[in-house]
């Protein structure tokens, strides 16, 4: 669901570049907001840097 602000509260082993990208992509409501906000609370700075600059996994399509 789109929202204006996404908050990451607390550190978790499940907070990866992929989950960050999926959740942060919800920030900003199409047609209402030109920008969205992302807030980190209780996440170490080195992890914030790692997940925001980390590479996303490549997707492959298998022929059927």
Residues 4-57 have pLDDT tens digits of 888 999 999 999 998 898 888 878 877 777 888 999 999 999 999 999 998 877
E-only strand ranges, 1-64: 5-9, 37-41
Q: Which domain holds residue 20?
A: 5-53
Q: Is residue 64 part of a domain?
A: no
Q: Is residue 39 part of a domain?
A: yes
Q: Is residue 19 part of a domain?
A: yes
Q: Is residue 61 part of a domain?
A: no
Q: Is residue 60 part of a domain?
A: no
Position 36 scores a pLDDT of 85
Q: Is residue 22 part of a domain?
A: yes
Position 14 scores a pLDDT of 92
Q: Is residue 46 part of a domain?
A: yes
Position 9 scores a pLDDT of 94
Q: How many domains does the chain have?
A: 1
């Amino acid at each position: 669901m789109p929202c204006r602000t996404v908050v990451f509260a607390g550190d978790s082993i499940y907070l990866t570049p992929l989950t960050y990208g999926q959740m942060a992509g919800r920030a900003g409501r199409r047609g209402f907001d030109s920008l969205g906000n992302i807030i980190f609370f209780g996440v170490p700075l080195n992890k914030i840097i790692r997940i925001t600059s980390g590479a996303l996994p490549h997707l492959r399509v298998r022929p059927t």
